[in-house]
Amino acid sequence: MKQKNIFLVLFLALNGCAVDQVNAEDKKPLVEENVVIENSKMLDEKVGSMLMVGFMGTSAPKNSQICKDIRDYNLAGVILFDMNPVNHAQAKNIATKNQVAKLTQELQACSKDGKLLISVDQEGGKVQRLKSKYGFYGKFPKAADVPHLSDEQVKEHYEKMGQELNAVGINYNLAPDVDLAINKRNHVIYKLGRSFGSDPKQVVKYSSIFMDAMHHNGVLTSLKHFPGHGSSLGDTHKGFVDVTSLWKKVELEPYRLLTKTATIDTIMVAHVFNKNIDADYPATLSHKTVNQLLRQEFGFNGVVITDDLQMGAINQKYGLRNTVKLAIGAGNDILLFGNQLSVKSMVKTKTLVETVKSLIKSGEVDLADIEKSNQRLETLKEKL
């Protein structure tokens, strides 16, 4: 009996070891698979942290696509518009003051850290998304009229703007415009009164008041449109715009002067093509413009955001894959896809992420560039 028991114990022990070995072998691929899944998730978030997107909807419940995108890809931010490009009779994101406040709360609830960048174009004049018909003030002066006001009046206007943005949870104003008013035939800057003037020092003065007021109310800002859109004749929303023969070096002065201060949060790069700086690519896609001129020569190490990459100047010429490859390689930190210009140009966040991931896999995009951008974005968010 004892001998049988010994054999039985040995048999069970050996069998148990064999089972453990099988289990270990079975579990090994699962562990590796989880690592792959985790790394894939991390990569999704690193890429997503470079994206700012527009979306359809006046609310963002947990099951909405935009909420899922924010949560799954850790998006840098979103951009809000009032006009709906699909149905002009309906609002896209902005309908009423209370609705916007609720929307931004829902959007932040989708984010990991509650520091999602929620942006809007609120310059004053013709460019203000928060209009009086939605319950906002909506009467902020255009930049061209600002120099005719007292400094105190200017401060009051922009303080009120900052307070209004903060009150509804918008923390990122894609303004001020520091383009110079140097071409009277310019339709997108001069004729809309979006410039503070032709004197760089005057532009710096009023843009500084603007930024100070936004900062006082917890709102980040973005200077635009580097390296200068004030001399242009064409509209980059519609197609390719070459400013080579019109552009003047003085258009860089507001940026040169302001980069010496600590007031700049971000800088938006234009889609203008300028052979004086880069003979091959428009500014948004130009390594010479962003990394060399803005970062190395001017010493700006903050966040650089592209103008909407779905504008005709880019979309019609380069295609999605080439656009994101060049934009990242140029040194941009946030790629803006407004999903605003037409139904045909709308692109899903998943498509953007997968496109960038395939570029990383092929070696066309350096992951180190994305990680640098992520670090700059984290530094920016610390200001919130």
- The answer to whether residues 44 and 177 belong to one domain is no
What local confidence, expressed as pLDDT, does residue 30 receive? 36
* Complete DSSP assignment for 41-99: HHHHHHHHTTEEEE-S-S---TTSHHHHHHHHH--SEEE--SB-SS-TTSBSS-S-HHH
Domain boundary among 24, 48, 72: 48
Alpha carbons 110 and 188: distance in angstroms, whole number: 35
What local confidence, expressed as pLDDT, does residue 366 receive? 97
What local confidence, expressed as pLDDT, does residue 312 receive? 85
Q: What is the b/e burial string over 277-310, where b = at least 16 CB atoms within 10 angstroms of the residue's CB?
A: bbeebbbbbbbbbbbbbbbeebebebbbbbbbbb
What local confidence, expressed as pLDDT, does residue 223 receive? 98
Task: Give the position of tokens 């064409």.
Answer: 234
- The answer to whether residues 153 and 236 belong to one domain is yes
- The answer to whether residues 61 and 9 belong to one domain is no
- The answer to whether residues 180 and 118 belong to one domain is yes
- The answer to whether residues 57 and 3 belong to one domain is no
Alpha carbons 288 and 73: distance in angstroms, whole number: 30
Domain boundary among 33, 48, 63: 48
What local confidence, expressed as pLDDT, does residue 31 receive? 36
- The answer to whether residues 216 and 301 belong to one domain is yes
- The answer to whether residues 112 and 129 belong to one domain is yes
Q: What is the domain range of residue 30?
A: 1-48
- The answer to whether residues 33 and 123 belong to one domain is no
Confirm if 336 and 315 have CB atoms less than 8 A apart: no
- The answer to whether residues 308 and 352 belong to one domain is yes
- The answer to whether residues 116 and 214 belong to one domain is yes
- The answer to whether residues 41 and 182 belong to one domain is no
E-strand ranges in the chain read: 51-54, 77-79, 117-120, 122-124, 127-128, 172-173, 220-226, 266-269, 303-306, 335-337
- Could you tell me the pTM of the whole model? 0.90
Domain count, the chain: 2
What local confidence, expressed as pLDDT, does residue 28 receive? 39
Low-confidence ranges of the chain (pLDDT < 50): 1-38
What local confidence, expressed as pLDDT, does residue 2 receive? 43
Residue type, 274: N
CA-CA distances (angstroms) from residue 107 to 42, 155, 303? 21, 30, 22
Cβ neighbour number for residue 155 with a 10 Å cutoff:
16
Task: Give the position of tokens 């070096």.
Answer: 249
Confirm if 205 and 212 have CB atoms less than 8 A apart: no
What local confidence, expressed as pLDDT, does residue 91 receive? 97
- The answer to whether residues 15 and 160 belong to one domain is no
The CATH number of residue 284's host domain is 3.20.20.300
